[in-house]
Amino acid sequence: MRISFCILFCLMAVSGMVRAACEGPPEQQPGGVGCSVADFSLRDDRGKAHSLSAAFSQPADEPATAPKLAVVAFVGCECPLARQYAPRLAALAKEFQSRGVAFIAIDSNQQDTLSELAEFARTHEIEFPLLKDPGNVVADQLGAVRTPEVFVLDDQRVVRYRGRIDDQFVVGRQRPSATRRDLAIALEELLNGQPVSVSQTEVQGCLIGRLRKTDTQATVTYCNQIARLLDRRCVECHRAGEVAPFALTRYDEVVGWAESIREVVEQGRMPPWFADPRHGVFQNDPRLSDEEKSLLDQWVDAGCPEGDRGQLPEPRRFVVGWQIPQPNQVIPIRDEPVDVPAEGVVAYQYYTVDPGFREDTWIKAAECRPDNRAVVHHIVAFFVPPGEKTRGRRGAMVGFAPGMPPTTFPEGAAMFVPAGSRIVFQLHYTPNGSPQRDRSSLGLVFANAAEVREKIGGGMAANPLIQIPPGADNHEVRSQHRFDDDVRLLTLTPHMHLRGKSFRYEAEYPDGRNEILLDIPRYDFNWQLRYHLTEPKLLPKGTVLRCTAHFDNSAANLANPDPTKTVRWGDQTWEEMMIGYFTTLPAQADTASTR
């Protein structure tokens, strides 16, 4: 049950007011390095009060000296980066506890409940105090902006370091490992009586969901416009049980994320879409219109008013479970769940399954369904015909990735899978800060062969001869595919790994014309999107599909596993691929004759 912040403030009034202040010179920002922080008292999820001054006091039953330093870490229960860094904070607390460093975590998000705080601490094994900051009072006094953000205070409560924990994780990308443990280094230097060499660092992460002053006269409110906008553009993923890390289905969920929503929309990070709008028209383009962006801006600027609840739209209804019709066959990746660690880089996992196809099979819909969406980055299922190697050239494929809809074919069309085919699953797991388990599966809807009028085709324009030199920041690789029959192009799916930078599909027609079909100027490995053409594109016999990709193997690419090595083709993310997947249908007789 959610507890109102009014009640929480009343509870605080019983035990004493919450206070925090930077007492440095007026020109210094709150929480700035060199500022003094006044004492404060906040409560944990069980109602127990904890003060900053108490963090520097040694309990009577412990013989060690009183703490010399305190780390104040701002966290958020649903923030992906805060969840990834939570076990690291817990490990640092244990590492430095015996050396006189106390840790305190603070949640200032209005959207996070006390029960969610308890779950966060339990999941990530946080043993130091995790406190609720109603009304973001302490966050305001320290000037905390994002989660996770940390402040290191000496025993005079003077800020000696503020910023990130380390440099491994950034929004949308991560290094293979941290190159600088900023918080640990600052603590070591202070404990050794040295000044902090880098006392302030840039923080990446989620904006703190602050309480805001609301314009009660605003014409744009959550109930009359914003709820409808989110239903159209966001809720498909941002709802319980789906891939997004938090839900956006109620006002009390949305309001704390409002500033973050505006930020990611302005930066083009959400909704995920990377196609240059000058080329191609795609039915699954999720981008907000200029009018929708303006509504969002007006609402946030007005303090995110809720409005009249009587104007709320009916909740959007979604299919629960399988997004395709009820599958005729469900094939799990393996008999037992896969254990996914809390941290680290997990190599691609491969599982070969015999689905028991004793006869030729026609598939009209397929869905790779993650069992644990919190850690499944993507799934690819390859149908490998009999006689072919499972790790060599593969047959037809379907897949799942965030933002990718399930595979459904037009009426009367189906994908052919020969008898005796096996299925090879490729899974990419991304640890999220706590140990997880997954047993994903593939659902198939079969078509009656007598009802199949068109065979789904497709393939790929790939270049397995990749050799990306060390340090190259814009290395070009090309591939192509020639069509020997008239076809209608349905979808395009570019695929690269961590060094992928850009990808372009072009059609060179038999009459000499060239057309850009899809241009991805900023490729993002985290979003393996399939681009569905609004209208199938006729590609006459003799058309050459040309793909051009660029790779960044330099140190400037934060996700680059090793910029000193030549990179070649390989299945794992620290290797590379250059594949332009596509799906087609045979050209209809009338369109082929009038090209």
pTM of the model: 0.83
Q: What tokens appear for 544 in the block?
A: 């050459």
Asked if the peptide bond before residue 385 counts as cis, ω within 30 degrees of 0, the response is no
pLDDT at 65: 61
Question: CATH class for domain 456-595?
Answer: mainly beta
What are the residue ranges in the chain where pLDDT is below 50? 1-27, 60, 392-393, 589-595
Rg of the chain over all Cα atoms, to the nearest angstrom: 27
CATH number listed for the domain at residues 319-455: 2.60.120.310
pLDDT at 174: 78
Domain ranges in the chain with CATH number 3.40.30.10: 5-207
- Please list, in sequence order, all residues whose beta carbon lies within 8 angstroms of the beta carbon of residue 203, skipping any fewer than 6 positions away: 145, 146, 148, 149, 163, 164
| Fold held by 5-207 | Glutaredoxin (3.40.30)
User: pLDDT, tens digit, for every residue of 238-273?
Assistant: 998 888 889 999 999 999 999 999 999 999 889 999
pLDDT at 61: 53
User: pLDDT, tens digit, for every residue of 532-581?
Assistant: 999 999 999 999 999 999 999 999 998 899 999 999 999 888 999 999 99
Residue position matching structure tokens 């690291």: 88
Give the containing element (helix H, strand E) for 228.
Answer: helix 227-233
pLDDT at 466: 96
Cα 61 to Cα 68: distance, rounded to the nearest angstrom: 18
Question: Under a CB-based contact definition with an 8 Å cutoff, are residues 482 and 501 in contact?
Answer: no
Cα 74 to Cα 133: distance, rounded to the nearest angstrom: 10
Q: What tokens appear for 285 in the block?
A: 């383009």
CA dist list (Å): 506 to 46, 536, 545: 61, 15, 6
Which one-letter DSSP state was computed for residue 134?
G
The conformational region for residue 163 under phi > 0 = left, psi -120 to 50 = alpha, else beta, is left
Residue 282 β-bridge partners: 533
533 in helix, strand or coil? strand
Share of the chain above pLDDT 90, in %: 77
Longest dimension (CA), the chain: 91
Which one-letter DSSP state was computed for residue 36?
B
Residue position matching structure tokens 């959550």: 222
Give phi and psi for 591, each to the nearest 5: -75, -35
Cα 462 to Cα 480: distance, rounded to the nearest angstrom: 7
Domain ranges in the chain with CATH number 2.60.120.310: 319-455
Q: Torsion angle of alpha carbons 414, 415, 419, 423, nearest 10°?
A: -130
Cα 139 to Cα 74: distance, rounded to the nearest angstrom: 8
Cα 383 to Cα 416: distance, rounded to the nearest angstrom: 10
Helix 114-123 / helix 80-97 crossing angle, nearest 10 deg? 60
